[in-house]
Amino acid sequence: MSPDTNVEALRAEHQELERRIEEENDHPSPDEARIKELKRQKLQIKDQIAVAEAAG
């Protein structure tokens, strides 16, 4: 996988996590533990994007 393709895939995953966070927040009683986990995953992806961009 080329670095550009990898960054694009990571960005897509980052966006999907954002969508899932918004979806959870739209529930009448959002699961705060789930939101926290999704945000943690999103931050990890953001870090991976930064590393991939720096290497590319």
Residue 34: alpha-carbon gap to chain centroid: 14
Residues 6+ apart with CB under 8 A from 56: 3, 4, 7
Question: Quick one: pLDDT at residue 7?
Answer: 94
Number of domains composing the chain: 1
Its domain, for residue 27, covers: 3-55
| Residue entry with tokens 């999103």 | 42
pLDDT tens digits along 4-53: 789 999 999 999 999 999 999 999 999 999 999 999 999 999 999 999 99
Q: In this predicted structure, what is the pLDDT of residue 4?
A: 79
**pLDDT at residue 1 above 70?**
no
pTM summary value: 0.87
